[in-house]
Amino acid sequence: MDATTRYRPFIYDVFLSFIREDTHRGFTFYLYKALNDRGIYTFFYDQELPRETEVTPGLYKAILASRVAIIVLSENYAFSSFCLDELVTILHCEREVIPVFHNVDPSDVRHQKGSYGEAMAKHQKRFKAKKLQKWRMALKQVANLCGYHFKDGGSYEYMLIGRIVKQVSRMFGLASLHVADYPVGLESQVTEVMKLLDVGSDDVVHIIGIHGMGGLGKTTLAMAVYNFIAPHFDESCFLQNVREESNKHGLKHLQSVLLSKLLGEKDITLTSWQEGASMIQHRLRLKKILLILDDVDKREQLKAIVGKPDWFGPGSRVIITTRDKHLLKYHEVERTYEVNVLNHDDAFQLLTWNAFKREKIDPSYKDVLNRVVTYASGLPLALEVIGSNLYGKTVAEWESALETYKRIPSNEILKILEVSFDALEEEQKNVFLDIACCFKGYKWTEVYDIFRALYSNCKMHHIGVLVEKSLLLKVSWRDNVEMHDLIQDMGRDIERQRSPEEPGKCKRLWSPKDIIQVLKHNTGTSKLEIICLDSSISDKEETVEWNENAFMKMENLKILIIRNGKFSKGPNYFPEGLRVLEWHRYPSNCLPSNFDPINLVICKLPDSSITSLEFHGSSKKLGHLTVLKFDKCKFLTQIPDVSDLPNLRELSFEAYEFSASQLDLS
């Protein structure tokens, strides 16, 4: 069927041509029902007509309005001049035709032998030679088409009906899914997944996992694979948006949809998901099926729908897409494929197609397009959203939009990415926000120390959860903390929304502008727990004038890290609960007189003006201290007695470093 024919405004999917007296109450009726049950709208003329009736204008219109004709050539079909005229009309309209030879031999139809010879001999007495010639040509033409042959005792009618329905479904693309307008970089990914599927092995069942962060195109990849291999299976089903659908309608609904699709039955009612699991296991165990579970986020979903491989017949394949790699591990899915970001060339191509709907562009756009590609960091979702939003815009408008995206990320992008965050437990959310807002790019060893200081018990096991849920990139303790830029933007946006107008009421501050505003105007509150100034305040280093009493309102401040910025003076006050103090170029020669370091775990004051480090009271107050650093402190002359600090692991000053094992701490 060519594209022109396929997309005409048809009314019917199928036109059924048959003679009532042979198959009306049996084969043809059941074929009609099976087609309609599959959602294939079928014209079925149920009125009894004399054999000599001509094709009426209404029936002619029905033929014209149908995309496919199925002609049931039974024993008495040719005795009806009406059926023969109908056949001529169908062939003249150049419809896609599927002949079904029901208890007749195709050669008898082709050469008009047997009952077809008798019928034509009878017609010869009543009709003109011209009409007879048209009928003979039509019978010969339809007999030469590829079709189906049914003979009593040879097979079961229901099996033949199933094959016909399946063919029609494929012809209409009912088994095909729209993949992408611009499938850039998809071909190589499909190839890799196909290797894992090993479709040619019909003696085993394979369950495949496709995982990665939101917006990478996991669903798109699964759709492309589905379209490619669906014809190799008895039945196929793509369950999209499993997370959303199960939240809205429950697992029973998903199970009913699956069973209806794969069994061809309507109105499957389940009393519990356990009943649904049992029905899937028993009714599908002999079927070779293809099943896609898209966007799975809970173990219960897998347990209810794909409990074990033996739930499905040999040769079956199940593909699971998820953001959570741990779900695949838990379900013992060994064959997995991780979807990664696009390389620069593919990202540039995808952006170009979405923004201009063509491959070649005006060279004046090249620079800004490259900067958008850098901003999107290879995320297809971002490239598609930004490209489509800026379609038809000038270079100046692109420039302006890019600056806006950097300050305020697109809600359309953030909404997709936030799904992974919403699935976290509360403690996991806190660890994620700490990293996204403040610690991306830090050494993992530093983050480990900070988390030990920040939380009463170490939360490092949550890091593994963030990696499995595709919110963090793989962890190597020798490297820096890596997170996709737009995932970081998403986390920072979540934190910023706590108090968009008054940053001092947020839990975490990282923006130089917000930090300076809070310190200058003394607008901090007890909600603040982390201040991390780790980027330049301005292009030109200027001395920051601030309120030295700004920390007095921040009674719950636990982490204060200032790595950039030249401050005019030192603080008058530090909160007692401070656990991490890191201040490069600390602007005073001593710490505030009020500061009680009882909770201090990490203290780093490199390149500072400090001359002596004295904590008022006994040095035993430093019992939690693990890291003490004074690198490049030219004026430092005195530090506390550290010989009785049981937890001190690292002490560093000037150009020398000592490990705990090299110090006499007895």
User: Residue 160 belongs to a domain with what CATH number?
Assistant: 3.40.50.10140
Q: Over the stretch 405-423, which tens digit does the pLDDT of each residue have?
A: 988 889 999 999 999 999 8
CA-to-CA dists, residue 282 to 207, 232, 263, 275, 276, angstroms: 18, 22, 12, 11, 10
End-to-end CA distance of the chain: 88
| Torsional class of 69: left (φ above 0), alpha (ψ -120 to 50), beta (otherwise) | beta
Is residue 174's pLDDT more than 60?
Answer: no
42 forms bridges with which residues in the sheet? 14
Q: What band does 617 get if pLDDT is binned at 50, 70 and 90? A: low
Q: Which domain-ending residue is among 588, 607, 633? A: 588
Question: Which of 145-159, 219-233, 367-381, 617-631 bottoms out in mean pLDDT, i.e. has the lowest?
Answer: 617-631
Looking at the fold, whether 332 and 356 belong to one and the same domain comes out as: no
Give phi and psi for 648, each to the nearest 5.
-65, 120
Q: How far, in Å, CA of 552 to CA of 526, rounded?
A: 9
CA distance linking residue 592 with residue 377, whole number of Å: 44
Distance between CA atoms of residues 92 and 620, nearest Å: 100
Residues 315 and 458 in one domain: no
Give the model's confidence band at 231: pLDDT under 50 very low, under 70 low, under 90 confident, else very high. Answer: confident
Quick one: tokens of 401? 């939009």
CA-atom Rg of the chain in angstroms: 36
Task: State the pLDDT confidence band at 638, using cuts at 50, 70 and 90.
Answer: confident
- Confidence class of residue 4 from pLDDT cuts 50, 70 and 90? very low
- Max mean pLDDT among 428-432, 538-542, 624-628 falls in 428-432
Within a domain: 654:
no
Q: How far is CA 158 from CA 32, 149, 237, 421, in A?
A: 12, 13, 21, 49
State how far the Cα of 234 lies from the Cα of 382, in Å rounded to an integer.
Answer: 37
Q: According to the model, what pLDDT value does residue 659 have?
A: 47
Which structural domain range is residue 371 located in? 344-407
Residue type, 268: I
Secondary structure class of 333 (helix, strand, coil): coil
Q: Is 118 a catalytic residue?
A: no
Bigger pLDDT: 173 vs 284: 284
Judgement on whether residues 191 and 221 belong to the same structural domain of the protein: yes
pLDDT at 526: 96
Asked if 229 and 130 sit in the same domain, the reply is no
Cβ atoms of 648 and 626 within 8 Å: the answer is yes
DSSP state of 270: -
Q: Which residue has the tokens 């790699």?
A: 325
* CA trace torsion 571, 575, 581, 583 (10° rounding): -20
Q: Are residues 374 and 244 in the same domain?
A: no
Residue 556 has pLDDT above 80, yes or no: yes
Over residues 237-258, the mean pLDDT reads 94
Same domain, residue pair 472 and 401: no
Crossing angle of helices 426-434 and 444-454, rounded to 10° = 130
Do residue 349 and residue 389 come from a single domain? Answer: yes
CA dihedral 380, 381, 385, 390 (to 10 degrees): -20
Distance (Å, rounded) from C-alpha 627 to C-alpha 605? Answer: 11
Q: Is the pLDDT of residue 54 over 80?
A: no
List the single range of 48-62, 87-101, 285-299, 344-358 with lowest mean pLDDT: 48-62
* Token pair recorded at residue 201: 């092995």
- Residue 465: pLDDT over 60: yes
Q: Which of 218-222, 298-302, 523-527, 633-637 has the lowest mean pLDDT?
A: 633-637
210 sits in which H/E element: strand 206-211
Put residue 101 in one of left, alpha, beta given phi > 0 → left and psi -120 to 50 → alpha: beta
Number of domains comprising the chain = 4
In this prediction, residue 227 has a pLDDT band, given cuts at 50, 70 and 90, of: confident
| DSSP 8-state class, residue 443 | B
| pLDDT of 593 over the 50 cut | yes
* Tokens linked to 284: 């599908």
Taking Cα atoms as reference points, which of 481, 382, 391 lies closest to residue 431? 481
Cα distance between residue 498 and residue 508, in whole Å: 10
Q: What confidence tier does 665 reach under pLDDT thresholds 50, 70, 90?
A: very low
In contact, 365 and 399? CB cutoff 8 Å? no
Residue 130 shares a structural domain with residue 237: no
Tell me what pLDDT residue 618 has: 54
N residues, the chain: 666
On whether both 271 and 388 belong to a single domain, the answer is no
- Give 541 or 15, the one with higher predicted confidence: 15
Alpha-carbon dihedral sign for residues 313, 319, 323, 325: positive
pLDDT over threshold 70, residue 620: no
Is 28 within the bounds of a domain?
yes
Quote the pLDDT of residue 330: 93
- Share of residues in the chain with pLDDT > 90 (%): 60
In degrees, rounded to 5, the angle at the alpha carbon of residue 185 between the alpha carbons of residues 183 and 191 is 100
- Any domain includes 453: yes
Choice between 639 and 560, residue whose per-residue pLDDT is larger? 560
Backbone torsion region of residue 617, taken as left when φ is above 0, otherwise alpha when ψ lies between -120 and 50, otherwise beta: left
Contact status, residue 222 vs residue 252, Cβ threshold 8 Å: no
The answer to whether residue 235 is domain-embedded is: yes
CB 645 within 8 A of CB 619: yes
What's at 413, amino acid-wise?
Answer: I
How far is 29 from 98, CA to CA, in rounded Å?
16
Q: Looking at 318, 338, 358, which one is the last position of a domain?
A: 338
Buried (b) or exposed (e) across 121-144, using 16+ Cβ within 10 A?
A: eebeeebeeeeeebbbebbeebbe
- Domain assignment present for residue 140? The answer is yes
- Name the band, by pLDDT with cuts 50, 70 and 90, for residue 662: very low
pLDDT of the residue at 301 = 97
Strands 580-583 and 559-562: parallel
Which tokens is 643 given?
Answer: 């010989």
Q: 175 pLDDT exceeds 60?
A: no
Choice among 21, 52, 86, 495 that is catalytic: 86
Domain termination site, one of 113, 140, 172: 172
Round the average pLDDT of the chain to a whole number and report it.
Answer: 88
Is the CB of residue 59 less than 8 Å from the CB of residue 83? no
Least confident range of 374-383, 403-412, 501-510: 403-412
Determine the Cα–Cα distance for residues 151 and 159; give it in Å rounded to an integer: 12
Which band of pLDDT confidence, cut at 50, 70 and 90, is reported for residue 475?
confident
Task: Tell me which DSSP letter residue 612 carries.
Answer: B
- Please provide residue 133's backbone torsions phi and psi, each rounded to the nearest 5 degrees: -65, -40
Residues 522 and 393 reside in one and the same domain: no
pLDDT over 80 (residue 642): no
Do 33 and 97 fall into the same domain? yes
> Residue 149: its pLDDT value, please?
92
Tally Cβ neighbours within 10 Å of residue 572. Answer: 15
Between CA 500 and CA 543 the distance in angstroms is 26
Question: What's the pLDDT at 654?
Answer: 64
Q: What is the mean pLDDT of residues 552-559?
A: 96
pLDDT band, residue 537 (cuts 50/70/90) = low
> Quick one: DSSP state of residue 474?
P
**Domain presence at residue 225:** yes
**What amino acid occupies position 522?**
N
Strand pairing report for 42-43 and 235-239: unpaired
In a shared domain, residues 141 and 285 = no
| CATH number for the domain that contains residue 190 | 3.40.50.300
Is 297 inside a domain boundary? Answer: yes
3-state SS of 475-522 is CCCCCECCCCHHHHHHHHHHHHCCCCCCHHHCCEECCHHHHHHHHHHC
Quick one: 321 exposed, middle or buried, by C-beta within 10 A (0-12, 13-18, 19+)? buried
Q: What local confidence, expressed as pLDDT, does residue 656 receive?
A: 45
- What is the tens place of the pLDDT at every residue in 283-310? 999 999 999 999 999 999 999 999 999 9
Within a domain: residue 640?
Answer: no
Closest to 567 (Cα-Cα) out of 520, 614, 634, 509: 520
How many CB atoms within 10 Å of residue 483?
A: 21
Under DSSP, is residue 655 helix (H, G, I), strand (E, B) or coil? Answer: coil
